[in-house]
A = this chain, B = another copy of it.
């Protein structure tokens, strides 16, 4: 059967894959893996090959985006190809593009989902899922500066909504944006626009290593978070909107937020 199965690796390491995902790998003719769209800090290709009994072909950004995943499409012509991706597949647009291309030339595609950073950090925050507005990514300082993250936070706040800020990564350059860098980048925009959206007294929540056995989840004012040691990446930031009392309680008990949040 010629098909591509997109399998999510979930979070953190080789134990994040689902039982069904592992089954798909074991019964595949060819197994590909990309590890550049998201960081799995403790993932070991060697250990995964041992668990699954399969050899992994690592595909680079170039192969997937410039060569349009040609090797994967070719493998799918004569058998079952699995593409392993961090988190939940098809959240990165590059996987959707490959899926569209495969279906257009008659190759069947299926998806085996995995835990995603999106729901993981929402869960760890204790904040209510249906109160999150639009999500945004803060670009690395080396990239083209953008005021979009600031504007998204402002727009969500106007409606009392929380904002999840993902932080940019460049796996090739081994660059993973830290919470401090993300906050500093927003403070720089604040300095220019002065709308009092992100100030030293703004409440925010930093989350590091979601999906590991020791995530760091800390809520506080920016002046406190800027010097807080969140440890190893990956990092994310949440800017809360209007807090329900149960959400305030969660931030205090689960994320060491200042007690005076409880009012």
Contacts and interface: CB of A to CB of B under 8 A. Distances in A.
Interface of A: 8, 10-11, 13-20, 22-23, 51, 87-91, 93, 96-97, 99-100, 103-104, 110-111, 113-116, 118-120, 122-124, 126, 128-137, 155, 159, 161, 210-211, 213, 215, 246, 249-250, 253-254
Contact of A126 (B11, B99, B215, B249): B99
Contacts of A131: 134
Given A10-B113, A88-B120, A113-B123, 20 more contacts: A14-B19, A15-B18, A16-B20, A18-B114, A19-B19, A19-B22, A87-B119, A88-B115, A93-B128, A96-B126, A97-B246, A100-B126, A103-B254, A110-B213, A111-B120, A116-B118, A116-B119, A130-B137, A132-B135, A134-B159
26 contacts: A10-B18, A10-B113, A15-B19, A15-B23, A16-B18, A17-B19, A18-B115, A88-B115, A88-B120, A90-B123, A96-B250, A97-B246, A99-B254, A103-B253, A103-B254, A104-B253, A110-B213, A111-B123, A111-B124, A113-B115, A115-B115, A118-B118, A118-B129, A119-B119, A132-B134, A134-B159
Contacts of A137: 130
Copies of the protein in its oligomer: 2
A148 to B, nearest CB: 10
A51 B20 CA distance: 13
A120 B10 CA distance: 12
A124 B90 contact: yes
Contacts of A250: 96, 100
Nearest to A118: B119
Contact of A20 (B15, B91, B110): B15
A16 B10 CA distance: 11
A115 B87 CA distance: 9
Nearest to A23: B15
Query: Closest 10 CB pairs between A and B?
Result: A90-B123, A113-B115, A116-B119, A15-B20, A88-B119, A15-B19, A113-B120, A100-B253, A96-B126, A130-B135
Contacts of A136: 130
